[in-house]
Amino acid sequence: MTVGHRTTILTRDSFFEPDVLIYVNRAYETFEMNAHSHEFIEISYISEGAGMHYINDEAIPVERGTIFFIPIGYSHVFRPKTTAKGSPLIVYNCLFPVEYLIQLQAGFPAASEALSSFTAADLPWFSMKDVDGAYHFLFRELYREFYAKPPGYMAVLSALVLQILMGFYRNLQQVNTPAGDKPQWMAIDDAIANMHYHFASELKLGALAAAANLSERQFSRLFRKQTGMSFIQYLQNIRMEAACRLLTEGRSSIGEIASAVGYADMKFFYQLFRKKIGMTPCEYRNTARPSPDL
């Protein structure tokens, strides 16, 4: 599919200062931007809305929580799903040249092998999904540090970028490793991602253990070791966090929210919510305020 007109090449001189080899922005995507390539690496996070991402000859649907790694030379552009004023497509972008990765390798030698994989000339673009909102927090912090510039901000930016790239590295390992060859930590990570994707479903410990090629006892022991809590406790926390989001972001009834996060028993939902959050769902809705930092 053709988008825009000719491809624009964005140069590093337009974004980086001599001693600051990183640039961060939060863009409202429109139909005015042409497809473009660049002389630097870009990582993008869909913060709000939905639309399409055109990369070379591919069209990829995007929604909140979709993350992209775009190497040097790839032509791409985001397009919102609609031009309606109340439904913007908002994207965090973090740009840096290869030299920045080399600086990170020098500063974090323990991560050198992982970081070197992102400097490969033949590395293709890839995407992943932020299943629990952790990357959203990292990109928000990147933006705040970059523009506020408090003492030590360059060190914090480096630490945040490193955390994002290590997440990418681990995700690629998980995707490219056959199920039977995965180490135990990776199998538990897969199970946790499954729980975040399908928390409203009737998840069973036995099914997740079988998918991880572990006995239920092994799975439970490793799960507690990596998360600090049991399978049931972790699942309940995910569901309560989702309920809190729905209570502050929408107008659904308490019953609809309970059902949406996996509970048909309203009495149990109220009891669990009060136990975990310290107040009833109605009290939480009346006192909580949605975050403006989307």
Query: Going edge to edge, which strands form the sheet with 126-129?
Result: 23-29, 89-96, 41-48, 66-70, 126-129
The mean pLDDT of 265-271, rounded to a whole number, is 95
pLDDT at 178: 79
The answer for residues whose C-beta is within 8 angstroms of residue 97's C-beta and 6 or more apart is: 12, 16, 21, 39, 40, 41
Q: How confident is the model at residue 192 (pLDDT cuts 50, 70, 90)?
A: very high
Query: Over pLDDT 70: what percentage of the chain?
Result: 96
- pLDDT at residue 205 greater than cutoff 70: yes
pLDDT at 28: 94
Instruction: Give the pTM.
Output: 0.76
- pLDDT at residue 244 greater than cutoff 60: yes
DSSP assigned state of 22:
-
Q: Compare 193 and 271 and report the one with higher pLDDT.
A: 271
Q: Compare 77 and 183 and report the one with higher pLDDT.
A: 77
Name which of 1-10, 165-174, 176-185, 222-231 the model is least confident about.
1-10
Q: How confident is the model at residue 114 (pLDDT cuts 50, 70, 90)?
A: very high
User: What is the helix (H) or strand (E) element at residue 62, kind and residue range?
Assistant: strand 58-63
Query: Going edge to edge, which strands form the sheet with 50-55?
Result: 8-10, 36-38, 76-80, 50-55, 58-63
The mean pLDDT of 50-56, rounded to a whole number, is 95
91-112 burial string, b = 16+ CB within 10 Å, else e? bbbbbbbbebbebbbeebeebe
Which among 154, 182, 136, 150 has a CA at the least distance from the CA of 96?
154
- pLDDT at residue 42 greater than cutoff 90: yes
Collapse the DSSP code of 184 into the 3-class scheme (helix H, G, I; strand E, B; otherwise coil) and give the result. helix
Q: How confident is the model at residue 2 (pLDDT cuts 50, 70, 90)?
A: very low
- pLDDT at residue 289 greater than cutoff 70: no
- pLDDT at residue 196 greater than cutoff 70: yes
pLDDT at 293: 45
**For 136-168, how does the pLDDT look when each residue is reduced to its tens digit (9 = 90+)?**
999 999 999 999 999 999 999 999 999 999 999
Q: Compare 150 and 287 and report the one with higher pLDDT.
A: 150
Q: How confident is the model at residue 87 (pLDDT cuts 50, 70, 90)?
A: confident
- pLDDT at residue 71 greater than cutoff 70: yes
Write phi, then psi, for 63 (nearest 5 degrees): -150, 175
Radius of gyration of the chain (CA): 21
Place of tokens 């007109």: 5
